[in-house]
Structure 1
Amino acid sequence: MKVVKFGGSSVANAQQINKVLDIFNSDKERRIMIVSAPGKRHPEDTKTTDLILQLYEKVIEPSDYQQQFERVIERYADIINHLKMKTSLLEDFTRTLHQYIQEFKQHHPRLLDALLSCGEDFNAQLIAAYNTSCGVPTRYISPMEAGIRVTDQPHNAQILETAYAQLFKLRDYEEKLIIPGFFGISEQNHIVTFPRGVSDITGAIVARGVEADLYENFTDVSGIYRANPAVVHAPEIIDEITYGEMRELSYAGFSVFHDEALQPLYKHRIPVVIKNTNCPEDPGTRIVHDRDIDTRTVVSGISCDKHFTVLHIKKYLMNRQVGFARKILGILEDYDISFDHMPSGIDSVSIIMRSDQIKHCENEVLTTIRNQCDVDELSIDHDLAILMVVGEGMHRIVGTANQITTALAQANINLKMINQGASELSMMFGLDLEDSDKAVQVIYDQVYVHEI
């Protein structure tokens, strides 16, 4: 059994939906499809999800939202008309939107989740009805019927472990199934969306629940590039990558596949393949538990993310002071700040975090650390970029780190910090924001053009 997920660009209009169904119907093992809300039809277009966000903002102002309401419905009307379907579904969609607005207009977090769910939910209903009308028995399955039970915190759904037993029953259906992505149903029967607005997570949850042999994630690129194609011209596509490598690259800016979507899959070793809806014959990138490593694929990829902040703390004999790190981290916890990296020496520690974590309380945090931790020096740097060089085999090849740092030095790129994780899966480099793109290009040339 294969579970298939299609992203927003893959289901943006009638033409794309026909492509999607050709792919879905061409393989009898593709039994379950997860769909996103319609994405952009052209570069100047607006995603359906953004149209719904604009509707939500009009509702809560409050102001006249009828025009924005109609824009949402028009997106689906355009698809239905081009597919020559009956318009009765539009009446259902209109009724559902009105119902959610009336029911939750005084409860804004619930209203937002309910409205946002409509993007995927309406599209799943539409595509299932169209596929059935084309002679392929297809059933729309709502997250409630599927058993996608989640926690009850708005905009931050987490799957409940008990849901997987119910999801396994999806194997019993004879028809092809289409399920909307992005949201689940809490035990209190509230609609709750997954964080960051992606359907990748739903696809991974369903793939694990039905114990799929493969999870196919279709998007608008033919796999995962070894570096950002907006920075490096025509980078290679990765043939195969491990869950751990993908997690590291996703963290540092690779957006093709959501890193949280790996969590339901890796323990059960369900492989993933990233494929292109517009070129389905391309092999794509496989994400697996283990991979073969040769000298050409020691480094899987290079990614760089921006807008980090680093706290530099120095204290003489820090290493002998029991509980010092706990005090520092306790202060960050008090201000609801999580950290990403914490390289340290015997008398110093640097704490790296996303800039948006601390920007609202920077002065308060610094004052509290000075008052409670008796530090010798305390400073903060903004506009830091974090560059990750990721590869399962780097620790096996002598001189990998040396070649990378030498290439950066020859390009006159100053490194503010270097850190290698205990797993030896990745190397992290902190550098100035203005050097980030140049650094990615330099390392790519060193690794893949000159070869390590």
Structure 2
Amino acid sequence: MKVVKFGGSSLADGEHFAQAIKIITADPQRRVVVTSAPGKRDPHDIKVTDLLITYAKQVLAHESTTTTVNQIIDRYTAIAAYFNVPADKLNPLIDRLKALPTWHYPNDNYLMATFKAHGERLNANLMAIILQQLGYEARFITPEDAGIRVTGTPNNATVAPETYALLDRFNFNHSELLIFPGFYGITMAGHIATFSRGGSDITGAILARGLHADLYENFTDVDAIYVANPAVVNNPQPIAKMTFREMRELSYAGFSVFHDEALIPAIQGNVPINVKNTQHPEKPGTLIVPDKGFQPADIVTGVVSGKHFAAIYLHKYLLNKEAGFTLRILNILARHNVSYEHMPSGIDDITIILDKNQIDDELVDVICNEIQAEINPDQLEWIDNYAITMVVGEGMRNRTGVINDILEPLTKENIPVPIINQGASRISIMIGTYDQDADRAVQAIYHRFFAN
């Protein structure tokens, strides 16, 4: 059995719906379908999720919602009209959308989560209606029905372990198509909470694990996952097969084709993932598999750079003699709910690399002031123009000279490398550059390993 997930661009309008249905019905093993909310039909369009966010904000501000609600309704009615679905079949969906402001919510965050989740919910319901009209045995299943339980905050939820026990008990006929909305689950108190943005990938992985799928097919708008970002490297090589570990390492620095959190349920359930293009389903795409028994075809699988990093640099003589020095710094970060990414150090120096998305200028000053008071370093500096380039590959593990092969093209391009760090897994090397050099670094490393 296969779980199939379609992204928002794959379900943007009736024509895209028809292509998705063609894919679903072409393989009898595709029994579980996860839908995203309708995405953009063209570059100037608005995603339904963004319209729902606007709807929620208007409700909270006690503003008129008529125009926004009509825009949302028009998106679904246009898809239904493409398949000649009778208008009355959509009435329950429209009534539910209009009723959202009247529901009870514990707070505004739960209201926002509920509104956002309905892009997927209404789309899954509509997909089931269309499939039924076309003569297929299809059933719309909500997270409430299936038992997808979540914990965490309303707009950044995490799957609860009991979900898998509930999915084990979920009964379905193997001849029917089960249509699930992605992106959200149900809290212990019965409220809707969403995963982070793009979380339909997570729902697909949860169902793939919980329903013991043989394969999780993730359909999107690209032919494959590429060795490097096509916006940085012209016509990069596609990756045919990679491991979960490689995907995790690359996602960390910026691979955005597949939601990195969605790998966890697939890893736990040992379910391979196939990322494919909705418009070209005949192409093999990229297969993401467990690392056990994996035989790498290349030394390097991928190279990617993220420019959203900064660093706190400290210098203090005899730093290595002070017990608990690092712990005291990390306690300061923890008090402000800031995690660190890397922490290379020397005998008298330490650099703590942070994700700039977690911190603003005001918080930088607060943290640096606390470090100065607590640690009293001889030098304290905030560096806000770091980029992290990750070079990843299972083939690197038992290969000597890889670091030299990476640094040589950077030297030829006169790209300074202030930081270098090899992961304990030995399948990744982190290169720290300045953000203005990041793209050139990726291009140089790519051409060293893949140009020929």
Q: Could you state the TM-score of these two structures normalised by the residue count of structure 1?
A: 0.96
Cα distance between partner residues in 1 of 2:102 and 2:332 = 42
Q: Does 1:55 align with 2:63?
A: no
- Give the superposition deviation at 1:197: 3.6
Cα distance between partner residues in 1 of 2:266 and 2:82 = 37
Moved more, 153-162 or 356-365: 356-365
CA contact (8 A) 1:245 1:390 kept: yes
Cα distance between partner residues in 1 of 2:147 and 2:119 = 20
CA RMSD of aligned residues (A): 1.4
- Give the superposition deviation at 1:89: 3.9
Write the deviation string for residues 14-59 of structure 1: whole angstroms up to 9, x where unpaired.
1111111111111111110001001111121111111111112222
Write the deviation string for residues 353-395 of structure 1: whole angstroms up to 9, x where unpaired.
1113222311111111011112121101002111110111213
- Give the superposition deviation at 1:226: 0.4
Among candidates 397, 403, 406, match of residue 404 of structure 1 = 406
- Give the superposition deviation at 1:237: 0.6
Among candidates 437, 440, 450, match of residue 448 of structure 1 = 450
- Give the superposition deviation at 1:227: 0.3
Q: Does 1:210 align with 2:211?
A: yes
Q: Does 1:237 align with 2:247?
A: no
- Give the superposition deviation at 1:104: 4.4
After TM superposition, list the pairs within 5 Å mapping 1:8-157 onto structure 2: 8-104=8-104, 107-151=107-151, 153-157=153-157
- Give the superposition deviation at 1:351: 0.5
CA contact (8 A) 2:206 2:265 kept: yes
Cα distance between partner residues in 2 of 1:4 and 1:157 = 22
CA contact (8 A) 1:104 1:110 kept: no
- Give the superposition deviation at 1:430: 1.2
CA contact (8 A) 1:34 1:203 kept: yes
Q: 1:298 to 1:205 in 2, by over 3 A?
A: same
SS at match of 1:196: coil
Cα distance between partner residues in 1 of 2:413 and 2:311 = 24
SS at match of 1:350: strand
Q: 1:150 to 1:408 in 2, by over 3 A?
A: same
Write the deviation string for residues 137-168 of structure 1: whole angstroms up to 9, x where unpaired.
00000110011111152112111111112212
After TM superposition, list the pairs within 5 Å mapping 1:159-174 onto structure 2: 159-170=159-170, 172-174=172-174
Cα distance between partner residues in 1 of 2:104 and 2:435 = 43
Write the deviation string for residues 93-141 of structure 1: whole angstroms up to 9, x where unpaired.
2321232212247831111111111100000000111111111100000
CA contact (8 A) 2:69 2:98 kept: no
Among candidates 359, 377, 381, match of residue 379 of structure 1 = 381
Write the deviation string for residues 185-243 of structure 1: whole angstroms up to 9, x where unpaired.
11101000012242000000000001111111111111100000011111011011000
Letter in 1 for 2:125: Q
CA contact (8 A) 1:73 1:90 kept: no
Letter in 2 for 1:347: D
SS at match of 2:323: coil
Letter in 1 for 2:204: G
CA contact (8 A) 1:387 1:428 kept: yes
SS at match of 1:158: strand
Q: Does 1:323 align with 2:324?
A: yes
After TM superposition, list the pairs within 5 Å mapping 1:332-371 onto structure 2: 332-359=333-360, 360-371=362-373
Gap regions ≥5 residues in structure 1: none
Aligned residues: 449
Cα distance between partner residues in 1 of 2:403 and 2:152 = 45
CA contact (8 A) 2:121 2:181 kept: yes
CA contact (8 A) 2:224 2:285 kept: yes
Q: 1:165 to 1:223 in 2, by over 3 A?
A: same
CA contact (8 A) 2:198 2:259 kept: no
SS at match of 1:4: strand
Cα distance between partner residues in 1 of 2:121 and 2:241 = 32
Q: Does 1:391 align with 2:388?
A: no
Letter in 1 for 2:250: L
Moved more, 150-159 or 28-37: 150-159
- Give the superposition deviation at 1:399: 1.3
Q: Does 1:298 align with 2:299?
A: yes
Letter in 2 for 1:54: T
Q: Does 1:423 align with 2:425?
A: yes
SS at match of 1:345: coil
Letter in 2 for 1:315: K
- Give the superposition deviation at 1:62: 2.4
